[in-house]
Chain A
Amino acid sequence: MSELRISSIETRGVPGKKRYAMVIDLRRCIGCDACMTACKAEFDVPLGVFRTWVPYKVIGKYPTVRKMFLPRLCNHCDDPPCVRACPVDATYKVDDGGFVLQRYDRCIGCKACMASCPYNARFMLPKHRTYTDITRVVDKCTFCHHRVTQNLVPACVQTCVGRSRIFGDLNDRTSEVSYLVSTLPTQVLRPEEGTKPHVFYIGADRGHTEIGRKIYDPQSVVELERETYLNKHS
């Protein structure tokens, strides 16, 4: 696998180094949002912003329709563009483990990291927070670095009722994530960006996970229903 390494920052297959990753099995996700809630509770994530979020899309045609959930979070890329973009080294990658973390005391709030992230995983913390005094700097998912270093799994993984989220070390061939990634077809988001994400999806359809043409002219539900009605009754 070493031939796939382009940047020296990458930890793919490096002996003795951990490379944490998350596998999200979309066949098991029921959209209960418990992961979002656990994350909010763990980090006092303010209203309006998310470290992890679960968007959905209604796919299929009536009567065979279903909701497709796509849990999202920072992809802790092996070659993260946000680390390159930060002018003051406030964003950095942990050598052993591959966590992409933020130094809050150093962040100037230029938002270059937000501009460089293909996954919209970063957000600006508001001026006022209830329990935490870290404000007006960029924040993101940390893969629960503080928990993982204590041999715990991230809060979202711990709470996932369907065991849709699985976490572990990809460089450890005996780990469950290694097994899943090596035995099942997995997808990553926006692979064309070359970021080498560490969040793998099972059962994701690129036709639904990518930016669709309809964003150019998003029709409201009311308009769509009116159109359907007119088509049906004309």
Chain B
Amino acid sequence: MGDWNVFHLMPWSGAYAIYFFLIGISAAMFFFSALSWYRDEFVEVRRSAGYISFVLLAIGGVLLIEDLSQPMRFLNMINPAYLHFTSPLAWGSLCLVSFGLVSVAYLYTLQKGQDAGLGRKLAVFGALLGLGLPIYTGFDLTVHQNRPVWNTPLMPVLFVALSLLSAAAVAVFIAKGEKLRAMLRGIMLWSGGVVAAMLISLLGTTAYGGSASELTFMFMTSGSLGFIFVGLGIVLGTVVPIGVLLTSAGRQQGGMMLAGALLLVGGLALRYSILIGGQIVQTYF
């Protein structure tokens, strides 16, 4: 009673969660397109996955730049004289720009449709750069030592798994071949299982952390983020779709699309609640 403190804002708003979501799907969609050079099942989505990846990258890039308080200074992020490599954002900006350039070159090669060797090389190079996107976004959170939930080595791995999961959920809607759908079902099940296992670990380390971690756990499970994190993220967006995929309906196109839609809702909800969850307690300090 009678406490007074300055009202502190959360530095990173929910828009970052949308950015994480889009950039994660973009990276893994490029990976699926690249996979088509090595696995015949993916050939049918080579072009469409490549284009979806690029469009999502462009939207994510605009969101990221728009969120800067000085949007035109985004060029500082690629200025070699300014780059500060102790920050994951510096690595991320390089990765993002390189991935964008390789994506353009890759799509141009696909459009021309002549040089398969070059297309394959660009695909591999782009996929490796794309892998850097969820990894850097994870590190972006991990490095903040004072933030519960964020400051765990799980984050980069979790973001890679979420990236694969969400992109497979998108790919289900454009896949026509039976073999590809079976492959995507497998990816969703495996990456969904990995995400579920990591969420259990994350909840454990958060609940048994210090006082700030414990309070964050309370906010994320039974507090203001409870519905989004537990309801939408864990139950509706991870457990239910995995359950659907394991039933006979999960092998049909309709069931897989339902699971895909739920996984997309869950992917966004999980990213949002992890992003916001790490910031709630700090606003009271």
Chain A residues in contact with chain B, CB under 8 A?
50, 53, 55-58, 67, 81, 83-90, 106-112, 114-120, 123-124, 136-138, 190, 192-194, 210-211, 213, 215-216, 221, 224
Determine if B69 is an interface residue (Cβ-Cβ < 8 Å): yes
Q: Is the interface of B mostly helix, strand, loop or mixed?
A: loop
Determine if B114 is an interface residue (Cβ-Cβ < 8 Å): no
Chain B hits for A192, CB < 8 A? 210
A216 x B79 contact (CB < 8 A):
no
Chain A hits for B3, CB < 8 A? 55-58
B2 x A221 contact (CB < 8 A):
yes
A109 x B6 contact (CB < 8 A):
no
Task: Knowing A84-B87, A87-B93, A210-B211, say if A116 contacts B285 (CB, 8 Å).
Answer: no
A132 → B minimal CB distance (Å) = 16
A207 → B minimal CB distance (Å) = 11
A55 x B218 contact (CB < 8 A):
no
Task: Knowing A58-B1, A221-B1, say if A211 contacts B211 (CB, 8 Å).
Answer: yes
Determine if B219 is an interface residue (Cβ-Cβ < 8 Å): yes
Chain B residues in contact with chain A, CB under 8 A?
1-6, 8-9, 11-12, 67-70, 73-74, 76-77, 79, 82-84, 86-87, 89-90, 92-93, 140, 143-147, 210-212, 215, 218-219, 223, 279, 281-285
Chain A hits for B12, CB < 8 A? 111, 115
Q: Complex Cα distance A94/B59, Å?
A: 39
A226 → B minimal CB distance (Å) = 12
A108 x B73 contact (CB < 8 A):
yes
A115 x B284 contact (CB < 8 A):
no
A106's contact among B82, B86, B87, B211, by CB below 8 Å, is which? B82
B284 x A111 contact (CB < 8 A):
no
B76: nearest chain-A partner, CB-CB: A88
Q: Complex Cα distance A117/B90, Å?
A: 18
Known: A81-B144, A86-B84. 8 other contacts (CB 8 A): A90-B82, A109-B68, A109-B73, A111-B11, A112-B140, A211-B215, A213-B211, A215-B281
List 23 A-B pairs, Cβ < 8 Å: A55-B4, A58-B2, A83-B86, A87-B84, A87-B89, A88-B84, A89-B83, A90-B82, A106-B73, A107-B73, A108-B73, A110-B67, A111-B11, A112-B140, A115-B12, A116-B144, A118-B282, A120-B6, A120-B283, A123-B9, A138-B69, A210-B211, A215-B215
Q: Complex Cα distance A84/B88, Å?
A: 9
Chain A hits for B285, CB < 8 A? 118-120, 211
Task: Knowing A57-B2, A87-B93, A88-B82, say if A112 contacts B87 (CB, 8 Å).
Answer: yes
A87 x B77 contact (CB < 8 A):
yes
A31: nearest chain-B partner, CB-CB: B4
